[in-house]
């Protein structure tokens, strides 16, 4: 793990610890932790992902590769999302989310592709793996507790990315891979409007723009950003169960040079993605 990621991890742990200590203190100074004070919710989504734009470059002399136009990402890909939520005393919500994200393709190269000083020649085929699942822990605090039809909550997110990006020639003789586990903090917002007794609309967003050198005071010039924003419409089926349709934009990336790279890489990475996602989902309150 790089010094940048260690710094972000330390601050993320401080944030999570602070939230936990405040929660425990509130629990000890108020009523006991009974079922009246909390409830659990499970949420599952399934649907498809479309690539709006996606480009990546490894190495200063590397190709800025267009996955959509040249890398086989011009079709739809299946996607799912799972989360568990704990609502405590109606105003506090803790969320644990898992988002798998794996895109595989194999294409014919019309031009040379250079990845970390490895040349994949034109007129050959290459297998591409873009595996970028993430885990996310979030906390939200309700700011309109007395409103009957409108909820608005703000808070923070700590996201753990688990990335593997690989390029392999069709015969397996040429290969490059970039693997990374990173910590990303972000801001979070969620708002829900009750249209009537059954129907509701909801917006949710996690995002940050982070000039990392500014955050940790280092000389490493890396800029990163994420935005996960959704618009949801749903129906309450029973007291516990709801169904919904969700439109989501998922985007972000980073550009810069890492100080702890290993040969043959020179540490330079440029990776930006813009995805559109449509899902149907189901939630259940326990």
The residue written with tokens 């009537």 in the block is 196
The residue written with tokens 């993605």 in the block is 273
Whether the Cβ atoms of residue 59 and residue 270 lie closer than 8 Å to each other: no
pLDDT value of residue 7: 47
Helix (H) or strand (E) holding 18, with range, is helix 3-29
CA distance 186 to 209: 8
Q: Which string of b and e fits 180-212 if b means at least 16 CB within 10 Å?
A: bebbbbbebebbbebeeeeebebebbbbbebeb
CA distance 203 to 228: 11
Token pair in block for residue 129: 């793996």
The residue written with tokens 């490493």 in the block is 220
CA distance 213 to 73: 32
The residue among 285, 251, 253 whose CA lies nearest residue 269 is 253
In a structure prediction context, what are the per-residue pLDDT tens digits for the chain, which is 286 residues long?
Answer: 444 445 444 545 545 555 445 444 454 444 445 567 889 999 999 999 999 999 999 999 999 999 999 999 999 999 999 999 999 998 999 999 999 999 999 999 999 999 999 999 999 999 999 999 999 999 999 999 999 999 999 999 999 989 999 999 999 999 999 998 888 899 999 999 999 999 999 999 999 987 755 444 445 567 889 999 999 999 999 999 999 999 999 999 999 888 777 889 998 999 999 999 999 999 999 9
Token pair in block for residue 95: 């969320």
pLDDT value of residue 34: 59
CA distance 37 to 28: 13
Residue 235: strand pairing partners: 199, 243
pLDDT value of residue 10: 52
CA distance 167 to 130: 9
The residue among 247, 249, 239 whose CA lies nearest residue 281 is 247
Domains and CATH numbers, the chain: 3-285 (2.40.128)
pLDDT value of residue 31: 45
pLDDT value of residue 30: 43
pLDDT value of residue 29: 43
Greatest Cα-to-Cα distance within the chain, rounded to the nearest angstrom: 70
């Amino acid at each position: 793990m790089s010094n940048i990621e260690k710094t972000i991890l330390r601050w993320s742990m401080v944030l999570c610890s602070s939230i936990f200590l405040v929660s425990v203190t509130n629990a000890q100074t108020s009523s006991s932790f009974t079922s009246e004070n909390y409830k659990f919710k499970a949420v599952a989504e399934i649907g498809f992902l479309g690539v709006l734009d996606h480009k990546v470059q490894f190495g200063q002399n590397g190709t800025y590769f267009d996955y959509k136009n040249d890398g086989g990402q011009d079709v739809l890909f299946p996607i799912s999302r799972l989360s568990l939520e704990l609502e405590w005393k109606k105003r506090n919500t803790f969320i644990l989310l898992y988002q798998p994200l794996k895109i595989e393709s194999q294409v014919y190269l019309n031009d040379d592709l250079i990845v970390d000083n490895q040349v994949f020649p034109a007129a050959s085929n290459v297998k591409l793996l873009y595996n970028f699942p993430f885990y996310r822990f979030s906390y939200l605090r309700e700011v309109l507790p007395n409103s009957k039809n409108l909820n608005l909550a703000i808070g923070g997110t700590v996201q753990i990315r688990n990335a593997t990006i690989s390029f392999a020639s069709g015969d397996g003789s040429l290969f490059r891979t970039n693997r990374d586990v990173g910590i990303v903090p972000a801001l979070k917002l969620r708002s829900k409007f009750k249209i009537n007794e059954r129907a509701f609309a909801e917006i949710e967003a996690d995002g940050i723009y982070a000039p990392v050198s500014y955050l940790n005071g280092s000389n490493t010039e890396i800029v990163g950003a994420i935005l996960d924003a959704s618009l949801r419409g749903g129906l309450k089926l029973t007291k516990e169960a709801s169904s919904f349709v969700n439109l989501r934009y998922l985007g972000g990336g980073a550009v810069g040079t890492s100080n702890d790279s290993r040969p043959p890489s020179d540490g330079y990475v440029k990776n930006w993605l813009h995805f559109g996602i449509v899902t149907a989902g189901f939630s259940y309150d326990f």
